[in-house]
């Protein structure tokens, strides 16, 4: 397919309620969308970076640069075969996987349109629906958090994850367990701790967490291996896994027993499938992580999570959980079973990008042609 034009669209979508993590309190989702035009069709991809390099080393500024000056010029005006061909053309780039994933994802969308097949079918997905878990931000009080847990537990979410940070951790878990001794509960530290906190994590073993997500350094797999050997609770890596090789090394070292796959963090769906397959071979269950994305990213996440080894509940939720308005029609929502229907050739779920909503949220648009 010939790549005729690439638009990089920046949108701002305010959160209904602030979402607080160990690294930042989000008020607005500042997001980049990539629209790749080819032979009368277009594909959308979402760049999952944030306004600043808080979660990993990339942010919207660095991604804009990469997309416009490094990545787009490699395919504009060229005849390319699709996502794999694009990845080969940009294989010289070190890191910057969120930026790469944005175009890669758009090329998958173009392939969906060109073939008339669903993303699920193209990647070999096997599930008709995928389970929703929920990621709850840090709250000012334990009572406020307990109220949220009550709400989402009542709605049937398949796993409750809470964000933790030093000073807001074990006593909160203890309190939750008093009220909910049996729910599937996890914590996500977003790299806020070090091995000096080993005793804290040993003490957490008592609370039967399904796993502890990314307790240590965002680029670490060595300290995580030390921690994993010292505790019973499974460690799940998020930030630390950016590629197939990261996953291979983490599995070899014993740094994690669960992996959270985000196609953005790993440079796209192609690499994510490789990680999925590797984990499956090693009996490491995976689940699909979230980045408070727009509907474009959410719908692709649903499709990716239809792969067979996504056996744990995902951070894929209804869009209205974070936002009043989103950019797909319909807005992504859960079923009465708290699952998300995977779009495929058989069912009626079909998402369309709402161009008018994008216009309303738009901060800037760069049109790149050869
Ligand atoms: O670490 O999983 C994370 C949100 C932003 C950045 C990182 C993470 C998260 C979440 C929210 O936990 C997941 C979601 O989109 O529902
Ligand atoms: Mg995480």
Is 370 designated active site?
Answer: no
Kindly report the protein residue whose alpha carbon is nearest to atom 5 of ligand 1: 291
pLDDT score recorded for residue 245: 98
- pTM for the whole structure: 0.97
Sheet of 134-136, strands arranged across: 134-136, 160-163, 185-188, 211-213, 235-237, 258-261, 286-288
Q: What is the pLDDT of residues 170-188, one digit of tens each?
A: 999 999 999 999 999 999 9
Task: Among 16, 20, 21, name the best residue to mutate to test ligand 1's pocket (greatest count of ligand atoms within 8 A of Cβ).
Answer: 21
Lowest pLDDT segment from 58-62, 132-136, 347-351: 347-351
pLDDT number for residue 348: 81
Share of residues in the chain with pLDDT > 90 (%): 99
Which pLDDT score, from 0 to 100, does residue 198 have?
98
CATH number of 5-116+356-369: 3.30.390.10
pLDDT for res 155 = 97
Q: Is residue 108 within 8 Å of 41, Cβ to Cβ?
A: no
Cα of 347 vs centre of ligand 2, distance in Å, is 31
* Residue of 48, 120, 168, 262 marked catalytic: 262
Calculate how far, in angstroms, residue 168's C-alpha sits from the geometric centre of ligand 1.
17
Return the pLDDT at 133: 98
> Among 135, 241, 261, which residue has the most ligand 1 atoms within 8 Å of its CB, making it the best to mutate?
135
Q: Which of these, 27, 22, 34, 37, lies nearest to 264 by C-alpha position?
A: 34
**Of these residues, 151, 163, 168, 178, which one is catalytic?**
163
Q: What CATH architecture applies to the domain 121-352? A: Alpha-Beta Barrel (3.20)
* 370 band by pLDDT with thresholds 50, 70 and 90: confident
Query: Within 6 Å (CB) of ligand 1, which residues are found?
Result: 55, 135, 188, 190, 238, 289-292, 315, 317
The model's pLDDT over 195-217, given as tens digits with 9 standing for 90+, comes to: 999 999 999 999 999 999 999 99
Q: What is the pLDDT of residues 260-288, one digit of tens each?
A: 999 999 999 999 999 999 999 999 999 99
Query: Is pLDDT at 320 greater than 90 in this prediction?
Result: yes
Q: Is 163 a catalytic residue?
A: yes
34 alpha carbon – ligand 2 mean position (Å): 24
CB atoms within 10 A of CB 351: 18
Q: What is the whole-number distance in angstroms between the Cα of residue 213 and the centre of ligand 2?
A: 6
pLDDT band, very low/low/confident/very high, at 13 (cuts 50, 70, 90): very high
- The bridge status of strand 129-131 relative to strand 286-288 is unpaired
Average pLDDT, the chain: 97
β-pairing verdict for 211-213 and 235-237: parallel
Q: What number of H helices and E strands is found in the chain?
A: 12, 15
CA dist list (Å): 264 to 45, 74, 202, 207: 10, 20, 32, 32
pLDDT of residue 131: 98
Which are the contacts of 61, defined by CB distance < 8 A and separation ≥ 6?
A: none
User: Domain boundaries in the chain?
Assistant: 5-116+356-369, 121-352
- Measured CA to CA, the distance from residue 172 to residue 55 in angstroms comes to 23
- Distance CA(295)–CA(318), nearest Å, equals 9
Tell me the C-alpha distance between 352 and 345, whole Å.
Answer: 15
């Amino acid at each position: 397919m010939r790549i005729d034009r690439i638009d990089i669209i920046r949108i701002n979508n305010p959160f209904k309620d602030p979402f607080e993590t160990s690294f930042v309190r989000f008020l607005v989702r500042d997001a980049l969308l990539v629209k790749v035009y080819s032979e009368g069709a277009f594909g959308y991809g979402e760049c999952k970076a944030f306004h600043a390099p808080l979660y990993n080393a990339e942010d919207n500024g660095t991604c804009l640069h990469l997309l416009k000056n490094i990545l787009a010029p490699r395919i504009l005006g060229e005849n390319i075969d699709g996502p794999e061909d694009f990845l080969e053309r940009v294989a010289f780039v070190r890191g910057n996987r969120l930026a790469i994933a944005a175009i890669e994802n758009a090329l998958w969308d173009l392939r969906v349109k060109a073939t008339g097949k669903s993303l699920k079918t193209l990647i070999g997905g096997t599930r008709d629906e995928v389970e929703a878990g929920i990621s709850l931000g840090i709250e000012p009080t334990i009572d406020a958090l307990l109220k949220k847990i009550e709400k989402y537990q009542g709605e049937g979410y398949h796993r409750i994850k809470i964000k933790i940070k030093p000073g807001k951790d074990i006593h909160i878990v203890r309190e939750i367990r008093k009220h909910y001794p049996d729910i599937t509960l996890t914590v996500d530290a977003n790299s806020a701790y070090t091995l000096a906190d080993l005793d804290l994590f040993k003490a957490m073993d008592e609370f039967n967490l399904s796993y502890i997500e990314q307790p240590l350094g965002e680029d670490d797999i060595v300290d995580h291996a030390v921690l994993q050997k010292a505790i019973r609770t499974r460690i799940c890596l998020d930030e630390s896994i950016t590629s197939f090789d990261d996953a291979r090394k983490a599995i070899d070292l014993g740094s994690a027993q669960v992996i959270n796959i985000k196609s953005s963090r790993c440079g796209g769906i192609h690499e994510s499938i490789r990680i999925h397959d590797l984990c499956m071979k090693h009996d490491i269950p995976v689940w699909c992580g979230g980045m408070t994305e727009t509907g474009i990213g959410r719908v692709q996440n649903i499709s990716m999570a239809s792969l067979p080894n996504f056996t744990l509940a995902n951070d894929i939720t209804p869009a209205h959980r974070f936002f009043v308005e989103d950019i797909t029609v319909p807005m992504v929502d859960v079923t009465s079973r708290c699952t998300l229907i995977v779009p495929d050739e058989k069912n009626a779920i079909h998402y369309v990008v709402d161009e008018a909503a994008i216009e309303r949220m738009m901060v800037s648009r760069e049109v790149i042609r050869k």
